[in-house]
Structure 1
Amino acid sequence: MESIKIIISKIKDGSIKEMWEEFKWMMVYAKRYKKEILFYIFLGMFSTVMTLVSSVASKELIDVVTGHNVSKAPMMAIIMISMALFSLFFSSIMSRITIKINIRIQNDIQADIFDKIIGVNWLDLSKYPSGDILNRFGSDVSTVAQSAIGWVPDIVVSLFNFIATLAVVMYYDPTMMVLTMLNAPVMLIASKIMMSRMRKYNMKVKEMNSEMMHFQTETFSNVDSIKSFDLTDLFSRRLRNFQERYKEVNLEYNYFSIKSNIILSLIGMVIQNMLFVWGVYRLWTGHITYGEMTLFMTQSSRMSSAFNSLVSIIPSTVNSTISAARLMELISLPKEERAQDDYENLKESVQDGFSVELKDVDFAYVEDKQVIKSSSLQANRNEIVALVGPSGEGKTTLIRMLLGLLVPNSGDAVLKNKNGDEVNLNASTRKYFSYIPQGNTIFSGTIADNLRMVKEDATDDEIINSLEIACAYDFIKQLPDGINTQVGARGLGFSEGQAQRISIARAVLRDAPILLLDEATSALDTETEKRVLDNIIKQKPNKTCIVTTHRPSVLSMCQRVYRVKQMGVRQLDESEFGALG
């Protein structure tokens, strides 16, 4: 009843259409697994028949024993034991098959949603905390997967279970059937009481879980900084604040559940006692046998359970739309702009190198708050170009624009071959770039694993050559396992300078025409920094190298230097950047 009220309210406020779209989105996945859904339906119906046959056999056995007709007892006992053994064997086999299907389906749906999330526009996705994305990808995907596959079988099997059990009871005693049906209003009351608050608490818990996961992810990713600033007590208090809020939500819901369960249990007890009294009366008057009375008691409970399953499908479906909505919100974000033809058209020019150019570009992350305004820069093959300027002025924004992660609000960002052919920078042209971002970007695994991420078929010699160019092989060859040395998460076991050189080697191994280093040499000494950049230009010809830096030491190697300051990009003349160097 409460579900109907919610749906009516949604019709009035116009949101029922959204709920229907969410439901249809889930059912798209259900259509992919028609065979599995039919299998679940068969399994559920077969299990119902088995249980009913076992209950009738139990009833017959009781009647045989109480009627002293022991001649039929062995047969009934054999039937019951056979059914029990078959049920045990059948359920074990089906459990194995079911878990395989469930895992495959959940993995398929998770992989599909992962691909869709990872393909959305970077700027739009970056507005969501990482913990929130992880929670949606984990908990909400699981909910959608279960609902997409289980919704139809649940309805069919629960309805079949209810009707079949009702038919068995009616066969033996129509009056008992009517009394058993009194359980239905109890389930309706349960749905009415629970439904409205269930959705509210479900959303609260999901939002709280997202906040908690974001806090945990952020904390453990920055545990070194937390320890360095001696902030462990602060973060411990923050965790306990989260836990306190989570506790309050759950205790409030628990208190509500306790009160509801007491009332519903009392009503259920009254109905069960009515059934028991009626059964005793019918037994005393000789209208039913002991076996039939036992059958009535067990089937009454089964009908309650079956009706409960039917009623609960509505709130569970409504709640699953919450998860669907949260996922749809992510995958409906704008997709990255891709122009595969641009990538293909420039393939033949890779060996000759490329120039990149920003022409009078404007960009703002938030409307009316510009980061870059009317700015231009150019970097040609066989050049090192530097971007200098204070932190937070837009150097990293320019790098993201070159990578096609950001699109200028106005102006042009282009990639140009030696013949002057131009294409707009986008997600497809990103394949022509090797990027070394700020911070530690080393993953757990071996050193070779980290490098092969960008070139899976790279030989050991190619890896060693890239490490030599990045001035990293001198310390790696001294390790017991060399390039096969295990690396901890975030480069654990290596200094910041060593981790940076491994990252540079990975970018060199990618062997893309354009190399972007975003403060990527900040942990290197001046001599090593110059040697690395010199190696890249000399040993990898036709490279275009763009460096963002706060350090003037490398500027003497640059053909051009741009100062990024106060939303503008200005090219310095030789005397200006010579003075900086």
Structure 2
Amino acid sequence: MGKFDKLKKYWNKRDDAKEYLKWCLSYSKPYIPQLLLLMLFDLAATLMSVGMAIIGKKMIDRASEGNLSDLWKIIAIYVVVILGSQFLGIVSSLFSVIVYEKFGFGIRKKVYRRILDTCWIDVSKYHTGDLMTRLTSDVGAVSDGISSTIPTIIRLVVELLVTFCTLAYYDLKLALFALLVAPIALFASVVLGRKLKYLTVKVQETESKYRSFMQESLANILIEKSFCLEDYSEERLTQLRDERIYWVFKKNRTNMFASAAMGLSFQLGYIVAFAWGAICIANRTITYGTMTVFLQLVNRIQAPIVSLAQLVPRLISMLASAGRIIELQNLPREEYSGASIKQKNIGVKVDKISFGYTDELVFDDASIDFKPGEFTAIVGKSGIGKTTLVRLIMAFTNKMKGNIEFYNDAGETMQASPDARNFIAYVPQGNTLFSGSIKDNVLMGKKDATDEEVIEALKGAAAYDFVMDFPRGIDTVIGEKGVGISEGQAQRIAIARALVKKAPFLILDEATSSLDESTELSVLEGIRKWNPSPTCLLITHRRSVLQYCDREIQIVDKKMASIAG
């Protein structure tokens, strides 16, 4: 791609930066008072720094004149200004930390909630490690940009204007010359800005890969050990680190080239100011005090320009990270209709549904009716669509053709939607427990459940006996994914979590796969006797459970057919 094509590509993407900046500013609205106060602190510090240069001039001039009485007064004022500047700096730094943390958490909470409200099938395309990187590093870059970078840019612009006007008061030519560093800084910002954005995105992507690998590796540490993968995993982690270092190096090399160019121009401006001041002193056109003002103010004119250019990478990083967060914000949101029906004796009618994760359909014009109060089993091999059917009933995706409708014996109906989950209890495949106490895990099914209701649910799931054998009973603390208890015990606690909700529609997706046959039958018998008795959809590989079911559903050729129990 030629340079002209690259410039054309960058120009066509200019609206993206505007959109990202607009999004960042919209998120900062609740924090505008704090941000304004922070900028006020910065502006006060700027005025103090310029004032110190002027006070320094007067101090040297009085010393040159031998006027000691005024000199001591000026020194006292100088000391007061220095102390005030230091105190203001401390207050500003502490306040900045508080604003940064509050603002960062505010964005993180909104993005986290947005992920929770996104359709499952869309958010599941992202690796958990990638989502965590966006919630941490990317949100951190955005919050730093809003709470620090943008206020700093405003402060530097004001500092530049105030300092230029002050220096122009003493020598307009020198003030104009000091601005010559600006074109160099502008050139570096424009030329390198787009490249920095690309490199920033690559750095964040490699961090996502890095975190994703570590997260998966640690979550599956038993597999690592079982297959003696320790050396391989370490080598793979090193490869990901090397890939990250490559992009970090390229990004920082670009920054350093820009900084070096601006640093040389900065030094050139300082040398010119020093030489100009020396010539003026030799010609007796300025005082030594004015000479110090020249040196300090030239520095204070060029420093904001250089600092503004150096802030470009942080601004680019903020915009790049905002783009990655906006990508999540643009995912389809689950649609709540607010509909509801009487939550008693619930059935569900699946009518002519067609769905596939890819172009290959899992269901093609399939229909079935799960009648209120029935125990229905779907028994069969993996990959025929059993879990997919559950996801469609739970409205984890809206990308299907056909209709799924809940109904009760009062004749009320409502479409399958996120609202319907209020009367569905679901036990998914695998270990789905959280770290915390057994009671905490059961309470996720019903946050206001009493201890008596928790114990009742544990009894219904055939989990009460082993839980009470623990020294702390229901307050026993387990680790992530149920570390500290067996897989079968974890599954029974998950079933208790569903039962405590007392939902009229219960879905068990391989929820007893880790139980022995007798324990499994005890669990199913407890569910059968559960009051109120739910409509139950049971997905299993074991045909022995059919004795507890009213019907068996078979999925054949992407269709569903019912077999009487």
Which amino acid is 1:274 matched to? V
Equivalent in the alignment of 2:429 = 438
Q: TM-score, normalised by structure 2?
A: 0.92
Give how far 1:193 is off.
4.6
Instruction: Evaluate the alpha carbon distance shift between residue 454 and residue 294 of structure 1 in structure 2; reply closer, same or farther with a 3 A threshold.
Output: farther
Which amino acid is 2:247 matched to? V
1:306-345 matches, cutoff 5 A: 306-311=304-309, 316-340=314-338, 342-343=339-340
1:407-446 matches, cutoff 5 A: 407=398, 409-446=400-437
Asked whether the equivalents of residues 186 and 268 of structure 1 are also in contact (C-alpha less than 8 Å), the reply is: no
Give how far 1:263 is off.
4.3
Instruction: Evaluate the alpha carbon distance shift between residue 255 and residue 318 of structure 1 in structure 2; reply closer, same or farther with a 3 A threshold.
Output: closer
CA distance in 1 between partners of 2:264 and 2:109 (Å): 47
Give how far 1:436 is off.
0.9
Please give the secondary structure, in 2, of the residue aligned with 1:251: helix
Give how far 1:490 is off.
1.1
Instruction: Evaluate the alpha carbon distance shift between residue 97 and residue 7 of structure 1 in structure 2; reply closer, same or farther with a 3 A threshold.
Output: farther
Worse overlay, 434-443 or 37-46: 37-46
Give how far 1:434 is off.
0.9
Are 1:501 and 2:492 matched, yes or no?
A: yes
CA deviation vs aligned residue, 1:519-548 (integer Å, no higher than 9, x gap): 111111111111111112213233111111
Which amino acid is 1:355 matched to? G
Give how far 1:96 is off.
2.9
Are 1:353 and 2:345 matched, yes or no?
A: yes
1:88-107 matches, cutoff 5 A: 88-107=86-105
Asked whether the equivalents of residues 382 and 537 of structure 1 are also in contact (C-alpha less than 8 Å), the reply is: no
CA distance in 2 between partners of 1:35 and 1:267 (Å): 38
CA distance in 1 between partners of 2:349 and 2:481 (Å): 33
CA distance in 1 between partners of 2:260 and 2:18 (Å): 35
Equivalent in the alignment of 1:25 = 23
Equivalent in the alignment of 1:472 = 463
Asked whether the equivalents of residues 38 and 95 of structure 2 are also in contact (C-alpha less than 8 Å), the reply is: no
1:204-219 matches, cutoff 5 A: 204-219=202-217
Instruction: Evaluate the alpha carbon distance shift between residue 407 and residue 193 of structure 1 in structure 2; reply closer, same or farther with a 3 A threshold.
Output: closer
Structure 1 unmatched ranges of 5 or more: 575-581
CA distance in 2 between partners of 1:403 and 1:545 (Å): 14
Equivalent in the alignment of 1:457 = 448
Please give the secondary structure, in 2, of the residue aligned with 1:87: helix
Give how far 1:571 is off.
2.3
Give how far 1:354 is off.
0.6
Equivalent in the alignment of 2:299 = 301
Asked whether the equivalents of residues 390 and 564 of structure 1 are also in contact (C-alpha less than 8 Å), the reply is: no
Equivalent in the alignment of 1:188 = 186
Structure 2 unmatched ranges of 5 or more: none
Please give the secondary structure, in 2, of the residue aligned with 1:423: strand
The number of residues matched between the two structures is 562
Give how far 1:184 is off.
2.0
Give how far 1:313 is off.
6.1
Which amino acid is 2:52 matched to? S
CA distance in 1 between partners of 2:254 and 2:352 (Å): 61
Please give the secondary structure, in 1, of the residue aligned with 2:362: strand
Equivalent in the alignment of 2:59 = 61
CA deviation vs aligned residue, 1:331-355 (integer Å, no higher than 9, x gap): 1122213221x22xx1xx32x3211
Give how far 1:65 is off.
3.5
CA distance in 2 between partners of 1:482 and 1:75 (Å): 76
Please give the secondary structure, in 1, of the residue aligned with 2:507: strand
Which amino acid is 2:240 matched to? F
Give how far 1:311 is off.
4.5
Q: TM-score, normalised by structure 1?
A: 0.90
Give how far 1:388 is off.
1.1
CA distance in 1 between partners of 2:118 and 2:78 (Å): 58
CA distance in 2 between partners of 1:97 and 1:262 (Å): 32
Which amino acid is 2:225 matched to? K
Please give the secondary structure, in 2, of the residue aligned with 1:287: coil
Are 1:266 and 2:264 matched, yes or no?
A: yes
CA deviation vs aligned residue, 1:280-317 (integer Å, no higher than 9, x gap): 22233333333332332222222122223444566654
Equivalent in the alignment of 2:356 = 364
Asked whether the equivalents of residues 390 and 565 of structure 1 are also in contact (C-alpha less than 8 Å), the reply is: no
Instruction: Evaluate the alpha carbon distance shift between residue 183 and residue 259 of structure 1 in structure 2; reply closer, same or farther with a 3 A threshold.
Output: closer
Asked whether the equivalents of residues 434 and 508 of structure 1 are also in contact (C-alpha less than 8 Å), the reply is: yes
Are 1:543 and 2:534 matched, yes or no?
A: yes
Equivalent in the alignment of 2:114 = 116
Which amino acid is 2:352 matched to? D
CA distance in 2 between partners of 1:78 and 1:8 (Å): 59
Give how far 1:39 is off.
1.9
Percent identity, aligned pairs only, is 32
Which amino acid is 2:112 matched to? F
Equivalent in the alignment of 1:128 = 126
Equivalent in the alignment of 1:291 = 289
- What RMSD over aligned residues (CA atoms) do the two structures have, in Å? 2.5
Instruction: Evaluate the alpha carbon distance shift between residue 19 and residue 190 of structure 1 in structure 2; reply closer, same or farther with a 3 A threshold.
Output: closer
Which amino acid is 1:271 matched to? G
Please give the secondary structure, in 2, of the residue aligned with 1:370: coil
Asked whether the equivalents of residues 140 and 323 of structure 1 are also in contact (C-alpha less than 8 Å), the reply is: yes
Equivalent in the alignment of 2:199 = 201
